[in-house]
Structure 1
Amino acid sequence: MAKIAYILLCHKDPDAVIEQAHRLTAVGDCVAIHFDGRSSAADYQRIRDALADNPNVAFAAKRVKCGWGEWSLVQATLNALRCALGAFPRATHVYMLSGDCMPIKSAEYVHRFLDETDRDFIESFDFFESDWIRTGMKEERLIYRHLFNERRHKALFYKSVALQRQLGLRRSVPADLQIQIGSQWWCLRRRTIEAVLEFAERRRDVMRFFRSTWIPDETFFQTLVRHLIPGTEIESRTLTFLMFSDYGMPVTFYNDHYDLLLSQDFLFARKISPEAYALKERLGRLYAAQDVSFQISNEGRNLYGFLTRRGRVGLRFAPRFWEKESSLGRDRELMIVVCKKWHVAKRLLDRICQATNLPAVEYVFNEEHTPLPDLGGIQTTLEKRTRHRRSLMRMLFEYHETDRLVVCIDPGNLTLLQDFCSDRATTRLLEIECRFSDDYLVGHAKRVGLAGETTSDATLGRLLPTIRNDIAYESDLIRDAGFTHYSRMSEIGGTDRNASALRDFLSIDWDKARNIAEAKHLFAD
């Protein structure tokens, strides 16, 4: 059975460190602690005294003063690894944790998972070919020597890089290494750690190279593991669930994230708020629990992206350069059906085509596979269609040889609606108001990746009001925009009211409008 030696890198909150060590060792695993050399000696002694009687806890022989982005973080890890291998000869796996990490599965589940999967779990993507680094330095991390800490000595850091660039002091990457990059939170088998430590002792040139690279904790172990271990024995992912904001900062989890965390396909989570006492207590009990089943839906990142985007409503204040002086045509009429339930809008479009013979296009800016004619490549992707939306519409008018065209657009595309309504052409909007049952919203959440087949009822219960409010908010934005030619039909509006809206929208007589509005099963799900 798997026996884990946890490497615990920490620098604060001695009470939390003590509690975490007791929790992890209570089920038979081990902990090797490195407490930052910059931190209080009194706090360190407090931790040592509290854990002195625990045989499954050991301390790195030497404390290193750690700095973000420096080699010191790797050195601290190496010190803790040597301590763990010496103190815990029966440990089969080594798992890197920080003081902010907590288990999100039971120890029973964790051990069974590692027993069934004879692999190393470490993110390792090609440094130069992958897009793992989104902003900031990339190649410069390696080819220049970094002797100053960017956070403590920012001016010296960038002056040093500029001087090396000016003098042409580039250096080469060790010829036999293919540099990899990934998260520093990994889980490796004992034999892999032994191979890494042996390599580090033997290859002093490699050690010298990494000592002066920038942020080596994201490249050192990732590169050496991939260099020493067959690729078939490596799974390029972390077992610790973590997310980053748009600003590159770790997302912090709080008391109300318990169910979300348990449903992720990971063993631990980072980073738990120090003030999330209830969450830490529940996760601590969970780790020691027996016979717990977990429903894995893995929707956490999609949920986070959905919820954070809701708070960033912004409107463009100037036309894109390709739209400047662009128009659909002063004498043309674009009629836009706006509806969250796409199948309802498509049914209505079919009825409109049958009754009026008007050309119509379905969700051209929302569905990649909407049938479109060849328009010279502008129609090939959603990104191209949206970027060149006025040109696309103008070409569709020309293709159909018409001055009147009907299209469908999702209500979330307010910017598109505003663009078209500000054109010289006449733009009419018909919003279709639908009722949304809980079953429909659950299906919608699954279709857009906010939930999975195994998402718990509790998680869905908290998610559905947010989705419902989001749909209502989109509709409110459209109504508040004050569009000149705006009509509205409703699932509960009745035939006459809907026929009146259709008559105004399509500029057709009452009989045709009523014939369209009387369509059976128009609003059925």
Structure 2
Amino acid sequence: MSLGVVVLVHTAFDRAEQVIRLWSAAGCPVVVHVDRAVSKAAYHGFAEALGDLPDLAFCRRHRCEWGTWGLVAAALSGSEVMLRRFPQVGHVYLASGACLPLRPVADLIAYLAARPRTDFIESATTADVPWTVGGLEEERFTLRFPFSWKRHRALFDSYVALQRRIGFRRKVPLGLVPHMGSQWWCLTRRTLSAILHNPDRRRIDRYFRRVWIPDESYFQTLARRFSSHVESRSLTLCKFDFQGKPHLFYDDHLEMLRRSDCFVARKIWRHADALYEAFPTNCASAVEPRPGRIDRVFAQAVERRTRGRPGLYMQSRFPNEHWENGITAGPYSVFQGFDDLFANFTPWLAAETGAQVHGHLFAPDRVEYAGAQKVFNGALSDAARLRDYNPNAFLQNLVWNTRGERQVFQFGPRDNQQVAWRFARDPNAQVSVITGAWAIALCRSARRPADLRRLAAHLQRIEAEFLTILRAPWTKARIRIWTLAEFIEAPMAPLQAILDEIGQVPGHRLTEAPQMVDLQGFDGFLQTLKNQGMHPYLVGEIPAGPENEPRQSGAAKPYIVRAR
């Protein structure tokens, strides 16, 4: 028994000719279908180029557009010619001009000869198919699809919506159970003849003309009805991405394709010269195709394409909001109010933790990088205008460009607040806030009391909005919040907890807090604000008089630090 090949061609005629000659050289009769969209001149030139081959025929041409009946009509026309012209054919293999035999065709012929009654066609019910893309599973069989999805997308969507709204449903022809699978099959002469000469074929064809993507369901459904032995797999290696589009194989896939031991692969890039020169290659003829050897590679490719690397944004993969695989690439810490309360807090924190500690990265005038750098890792400028073009992307780039080194920076109500939501949603963020600490700088200001009252009200309103965001139910950052009054009363325990969480220096224990700024007269300043009608409630209740002085480390009230 012989193998016959039906080849569907619509482009890359030079490569299609090369592949057809491979099939013919192995003694396989070949029937070629050329898309009707191809010009007559190109068609006749292609036919003349293959005129020297024996057992070669061309079939009636159909317009083959993705998702439409034309692809099924092309396969049916080619199959009819194959069975009529070549009675010695026992199996018919459907291929495209972009398919390339990876092993000698003789291996495939011997493989099929040992299985004369087996049909190789991927065929599964809609309930068992996990790869459908586009939201149409059972509906592709119960609705009508007269419009092209690619050329008339608006009409396609509108007509689907109309049918759903009025409750329209088509009946599946009696005796058929819809199945789906890869369009690239290899059927026995017996099964294919039963499909082609089915007395009910006209009614079945009429039904499938309005099924969406019928080339993935027509033969797959009918093979289940007429075949005595179906192996639900394709002998053609064909991989699809997460959008349902076929992967192209390039020259750098050569070794991977060799490991698969598959008979045929598609879709081969027309300029993959190394693949067309290397294949088909010899291997043990009894070896079963093992596409599973490369499934892991493609699964990783899909994972990388859809999820990407945590915190990475780039031109080739810029995910939609909330689709990203991690907002940032690593942990970082945000401190609000600490540099207002403690003198030289930034260098003290850098010395205690060993982390990269910046000033206010989102300050209104410039980006305050550590060491007053003007350009930071990844060519990030200190220009506020460039940063404010996309503050969220600035933060993501900063963390990505410094992977492996924890970034720590100051934040406050005077800074650009557009990143507040980004802090709150990011599980990598550690946000520590001393509320009302902004009032300390106002206390030492020489501005008029009326101006100070307006500025204090403005800063408190901004900080209150920031706190609302941090306390939102969908917040994922690690949040610590103290009022200024609470923190002044006992600063050591909160500082130790923060440093433990940063964890740059394991087992490090604080013996003294950083030096607080002079709070002399601060209680009077707060009372002045209250007297003017502005209540600084975020500061907390700071007692008046000498009790307002910060406790010294030796006289601090006892505290407990969690042991590691």
Could you tell me the TM-score, scaled by structure 1's length? 0.58
- Amino acid of the structure 2 residue aligned with 1:229: S
Match of residue 226 from structure 2 = 228
> Residue 304 in 1 paired to residue 302 in 2?
no
> CA shift at 1:55, angstroms?
1.8
SS at match of 2:502: coil
What 5-or-longer segments of structure 1 have no aligned partner?
A: 319-414, 426-481, 489-505, 509-525
* Cα distance, 1:418–1:188 mapped onto 2, change above 3 Å: farther
Match of residue 123 from structure 2 = 124
Match of residue 177 from structure 2 = 178
> Residue 115 in 1 paired to residue 113 in 2?
yes
Match of residue 484 from structure 1 = 502
SS at match of 1:249: coil
> CA shift at 1:317, angstroms?
4.1
Name the CA distance, whole Å, in 2 between partners of 1:39 and 1:209: 28
Matched length: 331
Name the CA distance, whole Å, in 2 between partners of 1:27 and 1:139: 41
- 8 A Cα contact 1:104 1:268, kept in partner: yes
> CA shift at 1:265, angstroms?
4.7
- Amino acid of the structure 2 residue aligned with 1:304: F
> Residue 219 in 1 paired to residue 217 in 2?
yes
SS at match of 1:110: helix
1:67 to 58, 65, 68: 65
> CA shift at 1:66, angstroms?
1.5
Name the CA distance, whole Å, in 1 between partners of 2:304 and 2:115: 39
> CA shift at 1:507, angstroms?
6.4
Match of residue 5 from structure 1 = 4
SS at match of 1:299: helix
Match of residue 247 from structure 2 = 251
Match of residue 405 from structure 2 = none
Match of residue 434 from structure 1 = none
Name the CA distance, whole Å, in 2 between partners of 1:296 and 1:121: 13
Name the CA distance, whole Å, in 1 between partners of 2:65 and 2:175: 29
Match of residue 202 from structure 1 = 200
* Cα distance, 1:247–1:418 mapped onto 2, change above 3 Å: farther
> Residue 95 in 1 paired to residue 113 in 2?
no
Name the CA distance, whole Å, in 2 between partners of 1:180 and 1:295: 25
Match of residue 41 from structure 2 = 42
Identity %: 35
Match of residue 151 from structure 1 = 150
Name the CA distance, whole Å, in 2 between partners of 1:248 and 1:193: 27
Match of residue 257 from structure 2 = 261
> CA shift at 1:131, angstroms?
2.7
* Cα distance, 1:182–1:418 mapped onto 2, change above 3 Å: farther
- 8 A Cα contact 1:132 1:181, kept in partner: no
Name the CA distance, whole Å, in 1 between partners of 2:47 and 2:206: 33
- 8 A Cα contact 1:125 1:132, kept in partner: no
Could you tell me the TM-score, scaled by structure 2's length? 0.54
- 8 A Cα contact 2:133 2:243, kept in partner: no
> CA shift at 1:258, angstroms?
1.7
Name the CA distance, whole Å, in 2 between partners of 1:153 and 1:15: 31
- Amino acid of the structure 1 residue aligned with 2:215: D
* Cα distance, 1:86–1:303 mapped onto 2, change above 3 Å: same
RMSD of aligned Cα (Å): 2.9
* Cα distance, 1:486–1:111 mapped onto 2, change above 3 Å: farther
Name the CA distance, whole Å, in 2 between partners of 1:292 and 1:416: 54
> CA shift at 1:25, angstroms?
0.5
- 8 A Cα contact 1:14 1:44, kept in partner: no
> CA shift at 1:49, angstroms?
0.9
* Cα distance, 1:234–1:296 mapped onto 2, change above 3 Å: closer
Name the CA distance, whole Å, in 2 between partners of 1:137 and 1:486: 52
Match of residue 485 from structure 2 = none
> CA shift at 1:262, angstroms?
2.0
> CA shift at 1:206, angstroms?
1.4
* Cα distance, 1:99–1:8 mapped onto 2, change above 3 Å: same
What 5-or-longer segments of structure 2 have no aligned partner?
A: 312-325, 329-425, 432-475, 481-499, 507-561
* Cα distance, 1:164–1:29 mapped onto 2, change above 3 Å: same
Match of residue 275 from structure 1 = 271
> CA shift at 1:248, angstroms?
2.2
Name the CA distance, whole Å, in 1 between partners of 2:179 and 2:427: 41
- 8 A Cα contact 1:262 1:294, kept in partner: no
Match of residue 368 from structure 1 = none
Of 47-56 and 128-137, more deviation after overlay is shown by 128-137
> CA shift at 1:141, angstroms?
1.2
SS at match of 2:262: coil
- Amino acid of the structure 2 residue aligned with 1:257: H
- 8 A Cα contact 2:260 2:294, kept in partner: yes
SS at match of 2:204: helix
- Amino acid of the structure 2 residue aligned with 1:234: V
Name the CA distance, whole Å, in 1 between partners of 2:166 and 2:302: 45
The superposition leaves residues 188-215 of structure 1 with CA deviations (integer Å, 9 ceiling, x where unpaired) of: 111111111111x433221211111111
The superposition leaves residues 63-100 of structure 1 with CA deviations (integer Å, 9 ceiling, x where unpaired) of: 11121111111111111001111121111110111111
* Cα distance, 1:419–1:68 mapped onto 2, change above 3 Å: farther
- Amino acid of the structure 2 residue aligned with 1:75: A
- Amino acid of the structure 2 residue aligned with 1:208: R
* Cα distance, 1:419–1:30 mapped onto 2, change above 3 Å: farther
- 8 A Cα contact 2:31 2:82, kept in partner: yes
> CA shift at 1:418, angstroms?
7.5
Runs (4+) of structure 1 exceeding 3 A deviation are: 289-298, 307-311, 315-318, 415-425
Q: Based on CA coordinates, which of the two structures has the bigger radius of gyration?
A: 2
